[in-house]
């Protein structure tokens, strides 16, 4: 049961995130967002007669048969996008060894992306997931709506704290009838990744935002400690003074990270690497600049 004091503390965090996100968007983010994502989809507009040089794939054969000469379909760029923030709130999302947890970094990143979307006239929605999909809020506009999304990220407490990217992908494929822009925020320490992400990226413009913590990448030399998996409760005692153990752990985490990056590349998914020890804006800037370069080719 959430107390009135806890609700007030949570809303104070949301308001603080709102002010910070608005400032960051206003100062340095909005233009890059618009250049990276606007006008990605196409809406049918009208028919016109085929002209030399038109793409044959746009010929409408039904209209051509009725009119007796080739006609093609005309399209116009969509004026707005449907943006969905798919956020991992599993047990590992609450881990943070520095100042913030991965969940808090996800909430701040979602606020930045959400206010960028609203400022550019786009709709924004939310999917929260852990071992299963917990909450889907359809894309809509408005500051009140966006603040609710940020609050839901911070307060969600899944009954089953595991992680399933497959469950999230299935929900998005079912809930979004038209091509949308999906930001998938997770540590991606889950299996399987390949097929779910492949299916999602085939229908929607999918951006992977991987959030990690420094201690997940490299164990400190701290003697004998007990490690616990926050998603399964499994515990083990290890001696972190053992250099071979630390090296093996670092190699494992590097392999997992490289494996996820390879899957992103395979399916044409742009990605950004965030950490609980740094501000998200530099990594988001790099992501948008890469997308701008791709669009200008």
145-164 residue pLDDT tens: 999 999 999 999 999 999 99
Strands 82-88 and 270-275: unpaired
pLDDT in tens, 163-184: 999 999 999 999 999 889 999 9
84, 139 contact by CB (below 8 A): yes
Write down the pTM of the prediction: 0.82
22 SS3 class: helix
pLDDT band at 4 (very low <50, low <70, confident <90, very high): low
Judge whether residue 282 has pLDDT over 80: yes
CA 185, CA 131: separation in Å to the nearest integer?
15
Judge whether residue 123 has pLDDT over 80: yes
CA 52, CA 8: separation in Å to the nearest integer?
65
Helix (H) or strand (E) holding 155: helix 143-155
Q: What is the CA radius of gyration of the chain?
A: 22
Please give the structure tokens belonging to residue 224: 């004998």
Average pLDDT on 120-146 reads 95
What's the whole-number average pLDDT of the chain?
87
CA 93, CA 190: separation in Å to the nearest integer?
12
CA 106, CA 282: separation in Å to the nearest integer?
15
97, 266 contact by CB (below 8 A): no
219, 246 contact by CB (below 8 A): yes
Judge whether residue 143 has pLDDT over 70: yes
CA atoms within 13 A on the CB side of 74: 8
Tell me how far apart the terminal alpha carbons of the chain are, to the nearest angstrom: 54
Structure letter (DSSP) for residue 156: -
Burial class (CB in 10 A: 0-12, 13-18, 19+), 292: middle
Report residue 186: phi and psi, to 5°: -165, 170
Average pLDDT on 6-24 reads 77
pLDDT attached to residue 228:
82
Judge whether residue 1 has pLDDT over 60: no
Domains within the chain, CATH numbers bracketed:
4-38+80-296 (3.40.50.410), 42-77 (no CATH)
């Amino acid at each position: 049961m959430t107390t009135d004091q806890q609700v007030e503390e949570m809303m104070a965090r949301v308001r603080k995130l709102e002010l910070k996100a608005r400032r960051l968007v206003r100062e340095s983010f909005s233009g890059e967002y618009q250049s990276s994502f606007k006008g990605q989809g196409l809406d049918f507009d009208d028919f016109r007669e085929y002209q030399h040089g038109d793409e044959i794939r746009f010929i409408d054969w039904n209209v051509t048969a009725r009119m007796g000469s080739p006609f093609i379909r005309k399209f116009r760029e969509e004026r707005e996008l449907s943006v969905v923030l798919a956020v991992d709130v599993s047990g590992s999302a609450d881990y943070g060894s520095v100042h913030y947890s991965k969940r808090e970094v996800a909430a701040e990143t979602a606020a930045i992306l959400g206010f960028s979307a609203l400022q550019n006239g786009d709709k924004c929605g939310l999917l929260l997931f852990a071992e299963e999909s917990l909450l889907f809020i359809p894309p809509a506009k408005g500051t009140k709506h966006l603040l609710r999304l940020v609050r839901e990220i911070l307060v969600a407490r899944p009954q089953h704290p595991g992680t399933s990217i497959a469950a999230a992908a299935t929900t998005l494929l079912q809930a979004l009838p038209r091509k949308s822009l999906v930001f998938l925020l997770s540590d991606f320490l889950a299996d399987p990744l390949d097929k779910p992400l492949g299916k999602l990226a085939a229908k929607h413009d999918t951006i992977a935002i991987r959030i990690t913590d420094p201690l997940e990448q490299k164990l400190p030399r701290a003697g004998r400690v007990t490690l616990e998996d926050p998603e399964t409760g499994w515990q083990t005692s290890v001696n972190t003074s053992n250099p071979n153990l630390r090296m093996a752990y670092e190699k494992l985490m590097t392999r997992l990270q490289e494996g996820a990056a390879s899957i992103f590349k395979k399916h044409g998914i742009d990605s950004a690497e965030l950490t609980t020890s740094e501000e998200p804006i530099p990594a988001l800037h790099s992501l948008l600049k890469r997308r701008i370069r791709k669009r200008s080719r």
